[in-house]
Structure formats: structure tokens, C-alpha cells
Structure 1
């Protein structure tokens, strides 16, 4: 059954840029280097081992005054080489650290893309944030764009003291993007419609009213199902891959970040996921999602 699910996922959900838009290499001193990024950009490269046996590229964008860290899971048909300008903008305008990463089979990350591998990937990144950077759950905000909402809600449903979640052009499930089904089938992927019910922290939903790929109804329903609803942002006239170009996007995100400063958390947290817990032209060109029937 698991193999069949992965087969369905690979058929219509994953379109990594081919060839990748970047590569990484090691300097003689062992440092990982991302070509085109200067040292003064204050970004650190990581190559992480996932439970799936793959090497995952992760980039930590540090802000000196950051209160929170944003763990960003990007959309489909894109890799980190196309998105670093966005991360620089988010870091500057929101005053947060940003941890970005590529899924297995995307960019310079090894392996093949699958639903299960995206879950292993984000778990490896989360464990890195905990062990290497000392980031606590209560200082972490998960951000999932489009297909990235799948690994985001997978992790969010397992963390009890997470500060917040942002769902950007998110999907209810893979099959529901293609067909307006009312039942969740066993072979469906990224069953966000079920996992959102287990998220206990505030959830901000951002969706364009003219989204041509993932209908606005996906965002509305996810917001309705959220336990802790934050004021959503319905971008009037916004599509699937251009919401970052609207002024309200960064304004609303900043408002959300400020509101999270006032959230008090009292539930005990676990320290680590183990193997058993399972505004620029560059932004406009970002291919965040493709589905093939």
C-alpha cells in the first residue's frame, strides 16, 4: 500500500527543476558553498541526513535581532536556487531567521521526491534547528507554500508548543487539487484536511481569490478547520505564484509575527523528533506548483 501511495504521488505531484538551478561544493576547510551567495549575506549551509537515507540541503538565514525562526517549505517546480532573494526579503522585513531547505530530489538534495521523503526531510531540518541552532518549539513558525503545506502540517500536527503556522496557497490534499472529492481515499497524498485538526497553535492562511491551480476553497476550508484561527489574508485577484508581489502580503505577515510575540505557551514540549516520530522579479518567476493529470 505504501509503495502504491508513493507511485501515485510521483505521478502527479512532484516536478523538481531539471536540471537543478544550483549546485553546492565544499571548500578546502570543509565549508559548504552555495555559488552566488556572498559571505556577508549571513547564511549558513547545511547538508543533513534524513531518515530516508538522503542528503538534504538546508540554508539558515540569520537575523541578528530575530525573536522567531521561520521554517520555510517551498512549493513545487522550484528549488532554493530560485528562491534565495525571497528569503532575504522575508528575513529583512519580518526580522526573523529563515531556515529553508530542498526536498529529496530537488536542487542539490539527493534521492527521489515522494510524500514520505518530504516528511523525513522536514524532520531532519527541524532536528538540525534544535541541535545546531538551539531553536525551541515556542520560537518556531512553520511556513508551507502550496505542496510545502504537506510537510508543514505533518510536522505541526506533532509539535505541541509550536509558536505558529503559515499556510500559503495550501492544498486540502493532492487528489482534491484535481477532483472535488468529499472523501479522503487511502491513496491520496498530503492529507492536510485531516492533519489540520491536530494543530494546536495559531494558523494564518494566505490564499489568492483567483488561484488558478489550487482553488481558493482549499484555503478557506483549512482556515475553517483550524483550532486556533488567525485573521486570514484573502488576496483579491491573487493567483497561485504571485502573492508575494502584493503589498498586503508582507504587511499581514508582519502583523502575524507581532501577534505571535503575545502568545503564551505553557504545554511541555519534546526536545527532538526521533526516528519513531514519524518582492522582486525573482519572486514573480517562481514556479511554485504544477500538477499533471
Structure 2
């Protein structure tokens, strides 16, 4: 997907594997992964060879939950957010994956006593985050998603759109959890390009100044692309991978 993204969107891609994913060591937790993503964004924001005003966060599945938090926490560093097949919360997903627990565990909208919610140490409640995001948001939903019910994306959009008039929802009838980009074909890439053109326009002043800064928009993407990608648009000519050890050097703190 990344190579096609670079070719179709003429963008730069920055990839990272947060702790516990891909080749990164450590153990995943909501606190730790959030710090890893923040460290990567801080690093990108300090570079002088990119247009830091055009950083876009892209996240699929868990990457969307991470990306939503990162975007909310950095209104001055992130220009826009793209969410694809993301869940409302881990608590809600517990009831989807383990139906027999649905009465005992779930998010605010679920029924039942929810007496087992305390067992979930990383709730990733995206539904509580999207309504606080002020930047433009693009929602990409595969209607054949076999892992996250498409209604989760619809709920996220409704929550965000109630507070933010720069939200766009686009569904893809044959898209599954991991292949919406493939099933969507040209329509998928055109949708992203149009969203970027409208909400993150190219800085003509930087382009005409003749400096060496790369004005192309860019993406931050986690290395475990086949699992839970998080991606940010940043200004590199080619995508690069950032391992957990590298993130640690950038300032993230291990949460072991």
C-alpha cells in the first residue's frame, strides 16, 4: 500500500513501529503507544527540510485510535486526520469479538452492568476523542469489514461532525478491514487526493521561495502495516521506517 500511496498521491511517508509491534521491543499499552507516536511527530515537526504545515495523520484500525489522540493533542502540528475502519473503543470491540461478554463489558452506549470494564487496561475510546478534534477529518469505511462493524465508523463520523464541519465520510461497498484501499481502486485514491487538495493546500510561497524544503505533504505510518497502521504525512521523498529503539531516542519513554 505504501508504495502505491507514494506513487498515486506524490507524497512522503514516515513509518514507525510502536512498542510491541513489528520489530519493536517492549510491551504495548495505550500510554506507551501514545508517547511513541508523539515522539515521532515531535521529531518530524523539528525538521527543517520538510513543510511541517502539511503533516497529515493516517490511521487504520488501532492506528486510527492512536492517530485520533495524536491529532487532538497536536492542533498546531497536525494539519488533518484520515481514519480508516477504526473502532469506537476497545470496550465496544470486546463485545463484538466475544459476544458472550457483551452484557458485562462495553462502552458508554452499551447495555448491561459492564462490571468487567476494569479488566481493559487500554480502552482506546476513539468515540470520546473525535468530537474534540478541530482539524479536518476524512472517514474511509469498508462496508464489508469483517473485523470492525462499519457502524463504528458511522458513529465516529456522527460524533465528529456534530462538533466539526470539516468532516467527510466515504464508504466503499466491497472494502474489507485491510483491503479497502485495494477494493476502492481509483475512487479510494481520488477521495484522499481531493480531501488533501481542499484541506491541506500546497504552500505556494514556500515553493516559489526557491529553498530546499520539500513542500510535498507526507504520511506517518506504523511498520506493522498488515496489522494496525498509523501514518502521518511528512516531507520525505521516500518513506522511512522508525523502529521502537529509534523512537526511544527521540524521547518516548518505555512503559514496561
> Which bin holds the TM-score, normalised by the shorter protein?
0.5 to 0.7
1:218 is aligned to 152
Gaps of 5+ in 1: 1-85, 265-285
Alignment check: 8 A CA contact 1:163 1:263 kept: no
Q: Classify the secondary structure of the residue corresponding to 1:233.
A: strand
2:171 is aligned to 234
Alignment check: 8 A CA contact 1:173 1:191 kept: yes
Alignment check: 8 A CA contact 2:141 2:171 kept: yes
Q: Classify the secondary structure of the residue corresponding to 1:228.
A: coil
Q: Classify the secondary structure of the residue corresponding to 2:141.
A: strand
In structure 2, relative to structure 1, the CA distance for the partners of 1:103 and 1:244 (3 Å cut) is same
Bigger shift: residues 186-195 or 245-254: 186-195
Residue 173 (structure 1) aligned to one of 66, 83, 89: 89
1:87 is aligned to 2
Instruction: State the Cα distance separating 1:288 from its structure 2 match.
Output: 2.8
Give the count of matched residue pairs. 183
Alignment check: 8 A CA contact 1:208 1:240 kept: yes
Gaps of 5+ in 2: 96-101, 110-116, 204-224, 229-256
Matches within 5 A, 1:1-293: 86-133=1-48, 138-161=53-76, 162-179=78-95, 181-183=106-108, 187=120, 189-226=123-160, 227-245=164-182, 246-247=184-185, 248-262=187-201, 287-288=226-227
- Output the TM-score relative to the length of structure 2: 0.65
1:44 is aligned to none
Deviations 1:236-257 (A, max 9, x none): 1211111111212112111111
- Output the TM-score relative to the length of structure 1: 0.57
As a proportion of its length, which structure holds more helix?
A: 2
2:248 is aligned to none
Alignment check: 8 A CA contact 1:103 1:118 kept: yes
Alignment check: 8 A CA contact 1:146 1:171 kept: yes
